[in-house]
Amino acid sequence: MSPLKITTRDAATGPVLEIYGELDYTSATELRETVAATELRPGQRLVLDLAGLTFCDSSGITAFIAARHHAHTADAEIALAAVPANTLRVLSMVGLDQLFPLHPDSEVATRS
């Protein structure tokens, strides 16, 4: 079991949340709270960098949707970066790959 760790950094386009470990029903609240506490200005892009994500269940997917809602409420954008293959498969199966811009890494996701 790999506990969830979230680090935040600023990029020119807006905040980047780097997510490490397992995102499941026991840890998804932490991501939701971190996102809710992240200030966004209109026109910014919130990037969720999933390069360190080792597991994601439906609670994690729901946290991504909550993050999308948070961004759109602030008139900001959201993007997912470095989505692991198993998580991408789930996103694709439920059609969420059509709602989230997907990027190979956070460097590409934070280009203007």
Mean pLDDT split into 10-residue runs, the chain, 112 residues: 92 98 96 98 98 96 98 98 96 95 97 80
pLDDT score, position 98 = 95
Total domains in the chain come to 1
d(CA 14, CA 87): 24
Alpha helices (H) in the chain, listed in sequence order: 28-36, 58-73, 85-93, 106-109
Domain hosting residue 73, numbered range: 5-109
pLDDT score, position 1 = 66
Whether the predicted model's global pTM rises above the 0.85 cut = yes
Q: What is the CATH number of the domain that holds 89?
A: 3.30.750.24
